[in-house]
Amino acid sequence: MNWSETLTTSWAAVRAHALRSLLTVLGILIGIAAVILTVGLGLGTQKDVSEQISALGSNLLIVSPGSSTSTDGARGGFGSGTTLTRDDAEALSSEVGAPDIAGVAAEKSTSLSLEANETNWTTTVTGTTESWLDVRSRELAYGAFITEEQDAEGAAVVVLGSETAEELFGTTRVVGSSVAIDGKTFEVVGVLASAGSDSSSNLDDLAVVPLSTAANQLIGGTDSQSVSTIYLQAASAEQLSAAYQEATGLLLNLHGITDADAADFSIDSQDALVSTATSVYQTLTVLLTGIAALSLLVGGIGVMNIMLVSVTERTGEIGLRKALGAPGWAIRRQFLTEAAILGLTGGLAGAALGIGAALALPGAIGSSIVVSPSAVVLSIGVAVGIGVVFGVYPAARAAKLSPIDALRS
């Protein structure tokens, strides 16, 4: 019996019990679809996190202050201190001291209430400088951004995020309008283009004012020169590491610190954030894929069960074929081929279901699902392998049947 005859006979045997074969395939189908969706969800989540972190800006380093200590000795969390100042930001923007840093933007932020046309909205008010727009890779939808002159004068001007403008005015075309921030009147000079959200905040819900205005009129505090964050933009991705070293060395010198472990600031890079997030989601993906793969094991046991039933039902057929001279390997190949057909059918159907679900579900769950071609091909291969592996014992049992005993039954 050649391969063509084996395939034809095996396919006919599978079709002879269509319902039973369908139920057997169902276990493999569900397992393959679950694996494809799990891997796709993990990859999609990694993609979303990477995009959210990239939305902070290109080639970005984020400098945060150290912890604070109250008068009674209670220590605040890291980032609660006032160890970073405008002088630090100006020093980091020096081409001599930090040649690999292309842009610097200091921020001083707090949450305040805004009011316009008898509508109020609480949002993040960020004081910053003219360079913020480029460093954070943001764009304007309307109007202009704050200027160096407005910062120097402490002008009462504000640039609104698109969502903040919508909440206050019902439209983003609000340049020239007035808005009250903490009871003080500000003129809207621009509206930012939508940028979505990052991993922790809504990038479209904010109000940007000059840094000096925020320090002296809105946020205040014991140290008006302190800033909450300094964003550094490296000249290129290749120069990110050099920019990190330059910023660390310069700030240590400015703060009079000789031991880097005792630094009163921290510097994080996008690469570190992406690496950490990716590592977490890779671990979750492996765990969930392992759980989904258990259904493949169940499907394989179903294949073995059905093939054993098939051997028992077809004892007479096997005996007749062996009596006519069919060798044991031909019988074994016949049943292994049937098991492989069941596995391949389940694999293809499961792949189709998984891909279809990956295209339909993102809108419903609010998360991306990335279909990995390698995962699809590997899943189909695993499905065929499961069919063959779990078909070995029934095939061997059929091949070992004695012709006389088989015909007697």
For the residues of 148-173, what is the DSSP string, one character each? HHHHHHT--EEEE-HHHHHHHHSSS-
Both 25 and 146 in a single domain? Answer: no
Q: How would DSSP label each residue in 105-150? A: EEEEEEEEEEEETTEEEEEEEEEE-TTHHHHTT--EEEE----HHH
Residue 179, in any domain of the structure: yes
Residue 309 lies in a domain: yes
315 and 281 assigned to the same domain: yes
Return the residue matching tokens 């694999």.
347
Question: What is the sign, positive or negative, of the torsion defined by CA atoms of 115, 197, 277, 280?
Answer: positive
Same domain, 144 and 245: yes
The answer as to whether 60 is a domain residue is no
Domain final residue pick, 208, 230, 263: 263
For residue 265, the SS3 value is strand
Do the domain assignments include residue 71?
no
Q: What DSSP designation does 260 have?
A: G
CA distance 144 to 159: 8
Which are the contacts of 201, defined by CB distance < 8 A and separation ≥ 6?
A: 124
Spatial separation of the C-alpha atoms in residues 87 and 255, rounded to whole Å = 11
Q: Which pLDDT value is given to residue 57?
A: 57
Question: Does residue 283 lie within any of the structural domains?
Answer: yes
Shared domain check, 391 and 337: yes
Q: In total, how many domains does the chain have?
A: 2
94 and 207 part of one domain: yes
What's the whole-model pTM score?
0.58
Task: Give CA–CA dist 366/301, Å, rounded.
Answer: 36
Amino acid, res. 226? S
Which domain, by its residues, includes 381?
A: 3-52+275-408
DSSP 156: -
What CA–CA distance (Å, rounded) separates 369 from 312?
A: 44
pLDDT for position 69: 46
Residues in contact with 250: Cβ distance below 8 Å, sequence separation at least 6, in sequence order:
91, 92, 97, 98
Residues 318 and 257 in one domain: no
pLDDT for res 206: 93
**Tell me, what's the pLDDT at 71?**
47
Amino acid, res. 228: S
Same domain, 259 and 279: no
Q: What pLDDT score does 287 carry? A: 76
Specify whether 252 is located in the same domain as 390: no
Give yes or no: residues 101 and 223 share one domain. Answer: yes
Instruction: Quote the tokens at residue 261.
Output: 């472990």
Say if 310 falls within a structural domain. Answer: yes
Looking at the structure, do residues 45 and 108 belong to the same domain, yes or no? no
Q: Is residue 167 part of a domain?
A: yes
Res 73: pLDDT:
46
In a domain, 63, yes or no: no
Beta strands 157-160 and 184-192: pairing type? Answer: parallel
Tell whether 253 and 377 lie within a shared domain: no
Domain boundary among 263, 286, 303: 263
DSSP helix/strand/coil, 285: helix
- In angstroms and rounded to an integer, the radius of gyration of the C-alpha atoms of the chain is 33
Rounded mean pLDDT for each run of 10 residues along the chain, 409 residues in total: 72 76 82 84 76 65 72 49 85 88 91 91 93 90 94 94 93 94 93 77 89 87 77 85 90 89 83 66 73 74 79 73 75 82 88 89 80 84 83 78 66
pLDDT (0 to 100) of residue 407: 63
198 and 281 together in one domain: no
- Structural domain ending residue among the three candidates 230, 263, 296: 263
